[in-house]
Amino acid sequence: RQPRGPCPSGERLCSAEEATAGSGTYTRHGFIFSSLAGCVEKKSEDSGLPVVSVVRDAESQLLPDVGAVVTCKVCGINSRFAKVHILYVGSTPLKSTFRGTIRREDIRATEKDKVEVYKSFRPSDIVLAKVISLGDAQSNYLLSTAENELGVVVARSEAGVQMVPISWCEMQCPRTHTKDFRKVARVQPQFLQT
């Protein structure tokens, strides 16, 4: 059987006697349900029952999940938090922009009370962060940079040159040698988005 049209998550697909539950499905009370929104596929197996699975539509949006490492761009800061646009989940670029917030208390793991947002991020910085919750509105994710691997990965100086990290909390412009405070990430190569 070829794929059927799209089905929403939680739709009852068929009786568990007619098929085996494959990926993207679960069995309850003798029926197979879809566990995600996507296209239903039924594949015949030589051994007997066909396998029903639900495949995420390639066009459907990848969503940042709690615990995911995301690459984002700082679009605004104030004394309490930094506002960001999420650009990548892992190494996958997002088709549309999601908004995120990095609160002051989620910037560092230590000395949280001494953290100053403007000494951690600046607008247009590229930051690696971890999703800690799906914030108030569905479109506003709460993010944290309180791990060594997380923080600013790309920052430009006032001269427009990409700055070089010189410590956990400072970056320097190679042209003017001006130093700026940042919450610097120790970047793991697999996350580097240039």
Same structural domain, 154 and 72:
yes
In this structure, is residue 21 part of a structural domain? yes
Q: How many domains does the chain have?
A: 2
**Model-level pTM?**
0.66
In this structure, is residue 61 part of a structural domain? no
Q: 1: pLDDT confidence band, cut at 50, 70 and 90?
A: very low
Over the stretch 58-88, which tens digit does the pLDDT of each residue have?
A: 545 567 788 999 999 999 999 999 999 999 9
Tell me the helix, strand and coil percentages in the chain, rounded to 5: 5, 45, 50
Same structural domain, 101 and 122:
yes
Domain range for 121: 68-191
Residues 6+ apart with CB under 8 A from 59: none
Q: Judge whether 119 and 169 are in contact, CB under 8 Å.
A: yes
Residue 88 CB neighbour total at 10 angstroms:
19
Beta bridge partner(s), residue 94: none
Mean pLDDT of the chain: 85
Q: Judge whether 132 and 144 are in contact, CB under 8 Å.
A: yes
What mean pLDDT comes out for the span 109-119? 90
Same structural domain, 137 and 95:
yes
Can you tell me the distance from the alpha carbon of 66 to that of 15, in angstroms, rounded to the nearest whole number? 33
**137 Cα distance to chain centroid:** 16
Over the stretch 4-27, which tens digit does the pLDDT of each residue have?
A: 556 777 789 999 999 999 888 889
Q: Which pLDDT does position 45 carry in this prediction?
A: 73
**22 Cα distance to chain centroid:** 26
Residue 57 scores a pLDDT above 90: no
Angle 60-153-145 from CA coordinates, rounded to 5°: 75
